[in-house]
Amino acid sequence: MTTLSIPVSGDLEKFIERMVRDGKGANKADVVRRALREYEENEALQNILQSEMEIAQGKGLRGDLRKLAKKFK
């Protein structure tokens, strides 16, 4: 595991400390890790929703996946 040292505003630090007090994480690092995982999950969900919207708009690819893959080589 890598350790990062990043500056945060006083307000953000207070928020993180409150999250620890409220049991949202075992410590400050745990709160930040959990927040980053949630951010990553939200980004993945947004990509899925965007893809679904594009498919609904007819922008999806259809056909044999092997033939389609050859077009992108």
Rounded distance between C-alpha atoms, residue 63 and residue 21, angstroms: 54
- pTM of the entire predicted model: 0.73
Question: So where are the chain's domains?
Answer: 10-58
Nearest to 35 by CA among 18, 19, 58, 56: 19
**One pLDDT digit (tens) per residue for the chain, 73 residues:** 899 999 999 999 999 999 999 999 999 999 999 999 999 999 999 999 999 999 999 887 777 888 888 888 7
Q: Which two tokens stand for residue 17?
A: 């400390």
Rounded distance between C-alpha atoms, residue 47 and residue 42, angstroms: 9
How many angstroms separate the Cα of 6 from the Cα of each of 2, 11, 38? 13, 14, 19
